[in-house]
Amino acid sequence: MQRAVVSAVCLVLFFSSVAWADFYRYVDRDGKEFFTNDLKQVPQEYRGSATPVKTDDSRVSAGNNPVSPGKAPITVKDHKDKYGRGEGFWRGKADKLRAKLGEQQDEYDLVMRQLDDPAPKTLSVKKKSRSSLLKKKMKIEKDIAKTKRKLEKDLPEEARKADAYPGWVRD
């Protein structure tokens, strides 16, 4: 009985085939890259542009086995965009925009506190001061919108065109 069970298990294992799943890659209109193993999960508008991803077992390492004898594994740090700029360049550019956005937000908060300040002033000074603060508030709002656009749309698009990894410009 035990011999029959072992034989049956061996036969099942022998005749079972390895299941390979195809992976697909597509890029949306914002330049974000997506991967899936189910073509049905690709939105209809991107199905025509979805491409199968070829697997390369030579780049895979398991356990202590090196990727390939005599070669160092490829890492994200080694990747450069098509202009030779690496992760540091893109993260630095994104960090500058985030710092600028923070400064603009602080300035905006200060103007809002000044507008809400109930300190007694003469009526003419208060009107003049309030109108200049409102103009300043509107200018800062426009600047914040421009900086957000650069950070959220323009920079990722620039990075995509330069073949930089998308994660380099994200938080």
- SS3 for 34-94, per residue? EEECCHHHCCHHHCCCCEEECCCHHHCCCCCCCCECCECCCCHHHCCCCCCCCHHHHHHHH
pLDDT along the chain (171 residues), means of 10: 70 56 79 82 84 70 56 62 89 95 95 79 61 92 96 93 88 76
Q: What's the pLDDT at 95?
A: 95
Q: What is the rounded distance in angstroms from the CA atom of residue 143 to the CA atom of residue 112? A: 15
pTM (2 decimals)?
0.53
The token pair at 105 is 């937000």
- Main-chain dihedrals φ then ψ at residue 87, nearest 5 degrees: -60, -40
The predicted structure's pLDDT at residue 119:
67
What b-and-e string marks burial along 61-75, b requiring 16 or more CB atoms within 10 Å of the CB? Answer: eeeeeeeeeeeeeee
Q: Which helix (H) or strand (E) holds 2?
A: helix 2-15
